Chains A and B, each alone.
Chain A
């Protein structure tokens, strides 16, 4: 039995990989077939003029453009908030935090990372209710800014922990080289540690972008609606691809409406694939050639 165990593990690994790949390929091919890839201009802009719609001079009522632009804006806001805070937290954890405070903070971040996104959505929802109670008619309501801020809470632990891991994985002599030349701790972090760890940090950022782009639970409780058009400001309600898919697939009245949901899902997959592709390319180009292949 002991002799056969490695063979069994190999066979099991191969079968698992094969089944997973086939299922994944079948689902993707089915989605693409249903969506009628490649998309027509109509599926994105509906009956509106594409150029005027892109310039926000004509509203789009029956296309995916508001959901695509809403998703894009949502990602920009959430990642814009999460990246500086997350990287800062990661740097602090790796380079400054010590003893009990470190353990408390990492425990807190790990718990936060394990929270279901609906709980983060409820957090944003409660925040809006609290603002309504404290500042009636003045506080931020259901809007893209609250959704973005809530999503930033969702991805913050990933960013902080991935930054911390990236910095801690650096060789000790790299960490001390600049210090030995007279650099301060901050100069060391700025000129050596962060650039050296940037491939891993960039991967963390891109994964966070993908996470923000695909989450539904948070935005449906904090500001996403089925038809809001392109948001004219950050305090407006908005449309987003994942919510559009959820809403359309659960409320469709005719097959053509359901096909729209498939269109949106393929766009979302395409967006995620592009992001992962960019992540891989950045990893290759930014990473230190000396350490590659070792």
Chain B
């Protein structure tokens, strides 16, 4: 197993979004989470890297453990460093969100952060190109690494965002409806990419598309909004 969720409840003020939720996610598999709007799919992802903290006035109960750096870590333990957790648990969002900088700087951004928190920064040109090849973006951007990332198409931007997340060598990759804003061709490329990536990291993906889930998911989880009290 890679992630163990036990008795997870999450509420915004008094309204529960997730209630007593349990799930084990196996290593190097794609777990697809689906469900109606408001069922807590994105909240579940935000709980897995503690991204909700400081952003939303929510309240979480329960326990989440991830197998990171060869040991089980209670990710809500006060000893866990947030930058480390989020570097180990990468995330890609619904709409592409490249940073306002060049393609190269977008890719180097996670390393820049790692340099700030751990004092190390190691990225050779080859590392960048290897990640770009992994997301099938190398041929499209190799000649314009200094161009603003915003100049890329939507599908390219999303693949760049996946590449950026991969630069930190995450063990878990969270994807919040990664293809919902893309055309069918870009969607197909991302799906192929995800299937390739699962050999390197555990993928948790939220999707509304049942056909997509059938195509890429190893494990399907459907969640429902808790009944109002």
> Interface of A with B (CB < 8 Å)?
171, 173-185, 187, 191-192, 195-196, 198, 288-291
Closest CB in chain B relative to A70 CB, distance in Å: 37
Across-interface contacts of A192 in B (CB, < 8 A): 99-100
B residues 100-129 in Cβ contact with A at 8 Å: 100-101, 109-110, 112-114, 116-117
Interface pairs A-B: 8 shortest CB-CB? A290-B150, A182-B83, A173-B93, A180-B91, A182-B86, A195-B100, A177-B97, A182-B87
CB of B40 closer than 8 Å to a CB of A: no
CB of B84 closer than 8 Å to a CB of A: yes
| Residue pair A181, B110 in contact (C-beta under 8 Å) | yes
State the majority secondary structure of interface residues on A: helix
CB of B195 closer than 8 Å to a CB of A: no
The complex places the Cα of A278 from the Cα of B60 at a distance, in Å, of 49
Residue of B nearest to A194 (CB): B100
| Residue pair B97, A182 in contact (C-beta under 8 Å) | no
| Residue pair A195, B148 in contact (C-beta under 8 Å) | no
Using A175-B55, A181-B110, A289-B151 as known contacts, list a sample of 10 further A-B pairs with CB atoms less than 8 Å apart, ordered by residue number in A. Answer: A171-B95, A173-B93, A180-B91, A183-B113, A187-B113, A191-B101, A195-B100, A290-B98, A290-B152, A291-B150
CB of B165 closer than 8 Å to a CB of A: yes
| Residue pair B148, A289 in contact (C-beta under 8 Å) | yes
Across-interface contacts of A195 in B (CB, < 8 A): 99-101
Interface Cβ pair total, 8 Å cutoff: 79
Across-interface contacts of B95 in A (CB, < 8 A): 171, 173
Across-interface contacts of B87 in A (CB, < 8 A): 181-182
| Residue pair A182, B114 in contact (C-beta under 8 Å) | yes
Across-interface contacts of A181 in B (CB, < 8 A): 86-87, 90-91, 109-110, 113, 164-165, 168
**Candidates B55, B91, B100, B112; contact of A288 at CB < 8 Å:** B100
Across-interface contacts of B99 in A (CB, < 8 A): 177-178, 191-192, 195-196
Residue of A nearest to B54 (CB): A185
Closest CB in chain B relative to A94 CB, distance in Å: 13
Across-interface contacts of A180 in B (CB, < 8 A): 49, 51, 86, 90-91, 93, 165
CB of B157 closer than 8 Å to a CB of A: yes
Across-interface contacts of A174 in B (CB, < 8 A): 97
A–B Cβ pairs within 8 angstroms, 23 of them: A171-B97, A174-B97, A175-B55, A177-B97, A177-B99, A178-B109, A179-B86, A181-B109, A182-B83, A182-B85, A182-B110, A183-B113, A187-B113, A191-B101, A192-B99, A288-B100, A288-B148, A289-B148, A289-B151, A290-B150, A290-B151, A290-B157, A291-B150
Closest CB in chain B relative to A81 CB, distance in Å: 27
CB of B15 closer than 8 Å to a CB of A: no
**Candidates A175, A184, A187, A289; contact of B150 at CB < 8 Å:** A289
Closest CB in chain A relative to B15 CB, distance in Å: 19
CB of B82 closer than 8 Å to a CB of A: yes
The complex places the Cα of A176 from the Cα of B54 at a distance, in Å, of 11
CB of B43 closer than 8 Å to a CB of A: no
Interface string of B151-180 (1 = CB under 8 A from A): 110000100010011001000000000000
| Residue pair B150, A177 in contact (C-beta under 8 Å) | no
The complex places the Cα of A163 from the Cα of B171 at a distance, in Å, of 37
- Of the candidates A179, A185, A198, the one having the most CB atoms from chain B within 10 angstroms of its own CB is A179
CB of B9 closer than 8 Å to a CB of A: no
CB of B94 closer than 8 Å to a CB of A: yes
Interface string of B58-94 (1 = CB under 8 A from A): 0000000000000000000000001111110011011
Across-interface contacts of B82 in A (CB, < 8 A): 182
The complex places the Cα of A175 from the Cα of B168 at a distance, in Å, of 19
Across-interface contacts of A175 in B (CB, < 8 A): 55
The complex places the Cα of A185 from the Cα of B110 at a distance, in Å, of 14
The complex places the Cα of A187 from the Cα of B114 at a distance, in Å, of 12
The complex places the Cα of A175 from the Cα of B46 at a distance, in Å, of 14
Residue of B nearest to A288 (CB): B150
| Residue pair A176, B51 in contact (C-beta under 8 Å) | yes
